[in-house]
Amino acid sequence: MRRCCSDNVAALGSLGRRQVRLCIALMAINHFTVIGTRSSAPSEPQQIGAALTPLAVALCVWPFVFVRLERRHGPVATLRIGQLAFAMVNATMPLLVLLRDSPLLWVGLVAVGLCRNSSFPSLAILLNSMLDQHLGAMNGFAASVGSLVRAIAPVACGSLFSAASSISESPEVAQGLPFYLLVALLLCGLGMTAGLERRAWFDTEFERSV
């Protein structure tokens, strides 16, 4: 028991690294799931299944894609690619309501489904590349932070939606506020990656050539 506690304390010592703290903060931001697009999303069971298909494909494909990106460009550049794609998706989500009566809605849903989880593989790659020990403990801590944010997100988004609805009579503006707030946080996180090393500690030129 004492040894387990000492290992956990040692694992938390990794939080002293600025890079690790930034990575976990970005994970928390990415878990801030915004809810409030039902007015533009399909409602029939067949349509819902078709809309979720790109998301299922992305979950299977992205891990392999981001591994190749990491080997070619490094973990930090890979993170920026994933974060930028995620920010673009959230910026366009409120606009889908304008396409609800257009066939282009499905084009938007496919793009959203493919890019919705683009940031998580890049974050996992960067976090694991920064740690030479206590990988399990730190990944568990990051997952716990993400779960906490997911629990808070519906309440926070609902409060923002209510506040925006009381100020603006346009439902599109009220619905888009949580998304634009998330985009602003993602862009701030992207700016904070400017000080990170381009490659991780384990990433040597020899390993890149393997």
CATH number of the domain that 112 lies in?
1.20.1250.20
Q: What is the pLDDT at residue 181?
A: 84
DSSP SS3 for 197: coil
The reported pLDDT for the residue numbered 205 is 41
**pLDDT band at residue 199 using 50, 70 and 90 as cut-offs:** very low
Q: Which pLDDT band holds residue 28 (cuts at 50, 70, 90)?
A: confident
Tokens 């349509």 belong to residue: 47
Average pLDDT over residues 141-167: 82
| Residue 147: inside a domain | yes
Residue 2, pLDDT above cutoff 60: no
When pLDDT is cut at 50, 70 and 90, the band that residue 15 belongs to is low
Classify 16 in phi/psi space as left (phi over 0), alpha (psi -120 to 50) or beta.
alpha
Mean pLDDT for the stretch of residues 12-38: 71
- In whole angstroms, what is the distance from residue 25 CA to residue 22 CA? 5
Residue located via tokens 């299944």: 49
To the nearest whole number, what is the mean pLDDT of the chain? 73
In a domain, 174, yes or no: yes
pLDDT digits (tens, 9 = 90+) for 157-191: 778 777 777 776 666 666 777 788 888 888 888 88
Q: Is the pLDDT of residue 110 over 60?
A: yes
Q: Domain total for the chain?
A: 1
**127 part of a folded domain:** yes
200 inside domain: yes
Contact indicator for 115, 88 with CB cutoff of 8 Å: yes
CA angle, residues 119, 90, 115, in degrees to nearest 5: 45
- Span 101-105, average pLDDT: 72
pLDDT: is 98 or 147 the higher one? 147
Structural domain boundaries, residue 130:
16-209
Which of 143, 1, 160, 129 minimizes the C-alpha distance to 66? 129
Q: What pLDDT score does 45 carry?
A: 64
Higher pLDDT, 104 or 147: 147
What is the structure's pLDDT at 141? 85
**Would you call 194 exposed, middle or buried from its count of C-beta atoms within 10 A (0-12, 13-18, 19+)?**
exposed
Question: Do the domain assignments include residue 72?
Answer: yes
pLDDT given for residue 9 in this prediction:
52
Residue 134 lies in a domain: yes
Domain contains 130? yes
- pLDDT for position 34: 64
- Banded model confidence at residue 208, pLDDT cuts 50, 70, 90: very low
Q: How confident is the model at residue 209 (pLDDT cuts 50, 70, 90)?
A: very low
Query: Is 9 inside any structural domain?
Result: no
